[in-house]
Structure 1
Amino acid sequence: MQLSIVTTLDYAVPEPVDVLLQLEAAMIPEQHVLHAHIDLPPLDHFARVPAQAYIGERIWLRTGAPLKVRYEATVEVDRILADIATLPAVPPHLLPGETVDYLMPSRYCTSDTFHEFVQKEFGTLQGGARVAAIRDHLAGRLTYEAGSSDSSTTAADTFRSGKGVCRDYAHLMIALVRASGIPARFASVYGLGVEPQDFHAVAEVFLDGMWHMVDATGMTTPAQIAKIGIGRDAADVSFLTSYGDVELVSQSVQVTQATPA
């Protein structure tokens, strides 16, 4: 499947500021960036740096001009798809080193507080069957509600409130999977079918020797997703981090199915 992506950001900049952007679709084997272009404001500094795990890139900017960004891309998704429920877990002592960080609690994914819950609720299930059960449990338990959370909301907060947005679904999914002894990480993505259209968040779980996407919101599927980057949680993969004051004027994300040339 080919996806057409158009993202625009417009932020007022009261004084010169350093900004870290991560909003471009990653150039990785599971997806092919057929076309991409980014328009940026006048800059005092520009540099590309690798993002976490070398999946995608971040852009360092320094500017005193209004931060007006337009990114356009066409991405062909060529991801290996599998039925999560059928996949075995990798025993912890056999996990590759690069997956171990994603077993640990992180700022928003407080997995160490959920061991008792996952054992009580999902203790009879193993591997992908448990992951699928967690996904289905969250789909039935949580209510998607815009504005119900903010940048400080953790997985534990979402568990208590029973509502959130895609970031909150992903954080709680990750926390419960990590509490089950399975590596899980946060992925920032563009997803076809996401409503309201915006930057989207899903979990990735390590099963049967590979990473597999899981969207607990049910709004999109791995075949309809272009990955931007990954991290332990949302703190690692924000689309915009400013080291100084910026003020939102407007932003938009549009993801549509492209017609192959």
Structure 2
Amino acid sequence: MTVKISVRLLFELSEPTDTMLQFEAAAIPEQQILSTETRLGKVEHCARVPAQDDIGERLMLRLTGKQAVDYDAIVKVDRELPELTTLAALKPHELPGEAIQYLLDSRYCLADKFRSFVDTEFGQFEGGAQIAAMRDWIEEHFTYAPGSSTGETTALDTFIERRGVCRDYAHVMVTLARAAGIPARYCSVYAPGVEPPDFHAVAEVFLADADGGGGTWQLVDATGMADSHETVKIGVGRDAADVSFMTTFGMADLTYQTVSVTT
């Protein structure tokens, strides 16, 4: 599947400010970057640094004044997608080292608080079947409500309110999976069909390969909006704090943002 991406950001900084951006599609085996162009305004400093788990890159910039960022890309997605419910879970001692951190609590995903709920609600399932049951439960019980959460909203807050946006759905999905002992991470993506059009967030869970040869990360979208066959990864992290498209080490005012993703 070929996906076309176009992004425009306008923001203003009143004084020289270090700024970290992560919005470019990651160059990884499951997605081929056919064309890409990033256009920046005047910057005092620009460097590319590897992002979390070496999936994608971050732009480390020093900026001041009014800034415009434009990004266009065409990406071919070729991702293996086994039937989720057929995949087994791996025991913690069977996991590769890089997956173990995704069993642990993080800023927005406090899995320890959900262990009894997960045991009661999903204890009859295992592995991918358990993940699918969690995904379906979230989609059924939560309302997608733009503007209903903030940058401080945790998975527990969303669970209580039963509403949120893709960021919140992903946090709850990650949290429930970790509470079940399945590594899960937050994944920032582009996906056609997202309403309203925006940067999108899904979960990724680590399960056994279909052939039993090891482990594999599988995309899980509890909002039901993204098709994994045409989802383009930007980056991954423990939760949204690790994969924000814009992090400023000072004050900034985002005045305009538009995202278009089509096939």
Aligned to 1:250: 256
Quote the Cα distance in structure 1 between the aligned partners of 2:34 and 2:164.
Answer: 34
Secondary structure in 2 matching 1:15: strand
Superposition misfits of 4+ residues, deviation over 4 angstroms: none
CA offsets 1:101-120 (integer angstroms, 9 cap, x no match): 00001000110100000000
Report if the CA contact (8 A) 1:11-1:68 is conserved: yes
Deviation, 1:30, is 0.6
Q: Could you give the per-residue CA deviations for residues 48-68 of structure 1, whole angstroms, max 9, x where no partner exists?
A: 000001000000111123120
Q: Which moved more, 1:85-94 or 1:177-186?
A: 85-94
Cα distance between partner residues in 2 of 1:63 and 1:12 = 9
Matched, 1:106 2:106: yes
Cα distance in structure 2, aligned partners of 1:103 and 1:42: 41
Q: After TM superposition, give the deviation of residue 90 of structure 1 in Å.
A: 1.0
CA distance in 2, matches of 1:6, 1:63: 22
Alpha-carbon distance between aligned partners in 2 of 1:143 and 1:181, rounded to the nearest angstrom = 26
Percent of pairs identical after alignment? 54
Counterpart residue identity of residue 177, structure 2: V
Partner of 1:219: 225
Matched pairs, number? 257
Q: Which residue of 2 aligns with 1:68?
A: 68
Q: Once structures 1 and 2 are overlaid, which stretch shifts more, 89-98 or 155-164?
A: 89-98
Any conservation in 2 of the 1:43–1:65 contact (CA below 8 Å)? no
CA distance in 2, matches of 1:210, 1:107: 24
Aligned to 2:79: 79
Partners in 1 of 2:238 and 2:201 — Cα distance?
12
TM-score (norm 2): 0.97
Question: Does the CA contact (< 8 Å) of 2:144 and 2:163 recur in 1?
Answer: yes
Q: Flag structure 1 segments of 5+ consecutive residues without an equivalent.
A: none
Q: CA RMSD in A?
A: 0.6
Check if 1:232 corresponds to 2:238. yes
Task: State the Cα distance separating 1:79 from its structure 2 match.
Answer: 0.7
Structure 2 residues without counterparts, runs of 5 or longer: 209-214
For residues 107 and 162 of structure 1, what CA distance do their matches in structure 2 show?
Answer: 19
Give the superposition deviation at 1:93. 1.1
Name the CA distance, whole Å, in 1 between partners of 2:110 and 2:218. Answer: 21
Stretch deviating more after TM superposition (42-51 or 9-18) = 9-18
Contact 1:155 1:175 in 2 (8 A): yes
For residues 42-191 of structure 1, what are the structure 2 equivalents within 5 Å?
A: 42-191=42-191
Residues 58-82 of structure 1: CA distance to partner in whole angstroms, max 9, x if unpaired? 0011112312000000000011112
Q: Is the 8 A contact 2:12 2:64 kept in 1?
A: no
Distance 1:133 1:64 in 2: 47
Q: So what's the TM-score if we normalise by structure 1?
A: 0.97
CA distance in 1, matches of 2:229, 2:262: 13
Matched, 1:20 2:20: yes
Q: CA deviation at 1:221?
A: 1.3
